[in-house]
A and B are shown apart, each in its own frame.
Chain A
Amino acid sequence: GAVVSQHPSWVICKSGTSVKIECRSLDFQATTMFWYRQFPKQSLMLMATSNEGSKATYEQGVEKDKFLINHASLTLSTLTVTSAHPEDSSFYICSANGLRGNTEAFFGQGTRLTVV
């Protein structure tokens, strides 16, 4: 199956700094990618939909100025957590849909963010 690579797998940063997480589709083009946040033992919460060449669509309650999403190419989307605070510590996962008509979503391995 298709591969989605997410980097880094884990990151520790200081409060007030920004952290960038990358999501790459390695062997297919992804016009749409999704960013999720997951708290321990809870479900995946969709944060935003990343659209290649256009602005991301954010879910209700997600601060777009806090979580910057850029989808500059058909194989790369980035999520930047700006001015991170301890409450931003979480597990972030990206997924990508395949070409039109492909029903399966492919997931990255996730990023564990810890803000100290």
Chain B
Amino acid sequence: AQTVTQSQPEMSVQEAETVTLSCTYDTSESDYYLFWYKQPPSRQMILVIRQEAYKQQNATENRFSVNFQKAAKSFSLKISDSQLGDAAMYFCAYRNGRYYGGATNKLIFGTGTLLAVQP
């Protein structure tokens, strides 16, 4: 069974600084996707960034980038130039790549990291 681990329950960063959130996962699959989701106080889940396992290049989305280490099964999120609006709960998530339908394509979430941004 696949698992996702986030070892940092809480993190804090100064506005305009950079912070890295950690995530490790375990799977025996070779084809999968990894995601970072943001959940602000509104509790709406927002996709921050995604990574296809077959791609060696790390994904980037504006101030957000990942460090994907497939052999180490590590998938960290770096937030540059942190803004007050980045304060939220961040979830790392895994999904099987092969499409079998139904529950086989469910998202598996980590326990989350609560990020505080200090002005």
Task: Enumerate the 8 nearest inter-chain pairs by beta-carbon distance, A residue then B residue, closest first.
Answer: A107-B45, A49-B103, A57-B103, A43-B109, A43-B111, A103-B33, A110-B43, A109-B44
B63-92 residues with Cβ-Cβ distance < 8 A to A are 89, 91
- Using Cβ atoms and an 8 Å threshold, which residues of chain A touch B102? 32, 49, 51, 57
Whether B19 sits at the interface, judged by CB under 8 Å, is: no
Bound-state CA distance A36–B101 (Å) is 18
- List the one stretch of A18-26, A62-70, A81-89, A93-101 in contact with chain B: A93-101
Given the interface pairs A42-B112, A100-B99, the reply to whether A107 lies near B52 with Cβ below 8 Å is no
B117 within 8 A of A: no
Say whether, besides A41-B114, A43-B91, A57-B102, A105 and B43 are in contact (CB < 8 Å). no
How distant is the Cα of A49 from the Cα of B28 in the complex, in angstroms? Answer: 22
Partner-B contacts on A (CB < 8 A): 1, 31-32, 34, 38, 41-44, 46, 49, 51, 57, 91, 93, 95, 97, 100-101, 103-105, 107, 109-110
The answer, among A31, A32, A93, A97, for a CB contact under 8 Å with B45, is A93
A41 to B114, CA, bound (A): 8
CB A104 to nearest CB in B, in angstroms, measures: 6
16 A-B pairs with CB atoms under 8 Å apart are A41-B89, A42-B111, A42-B112, A43-B109, A43-B111, A44-B107, A44-B109, A46-B106, A57-B102, A57-B103, A95-B45, A103-B50, A103-B97, A105-B95, A109-B42, A110-B44
Are B107 and A95 closer than 8 Å at their CB atoms? yes
Which residues of the other chain, B, contact A41 by a CB distance below 8 angstroms?
A: 89, 112, 114
Return A89 CB to nearest CB of chain B, in Å. 15
CA distance A110 to B43 in the complex (A): 7
B47 interface residue (CB < 8 Å to A): yes
Tell me the bound Cα distance from A91 to B107 in angstroms.
18
**Which residues of chain B from 28 to 46 have a CB within 8 Å of any chain A CB?**
33, 35, 42-45
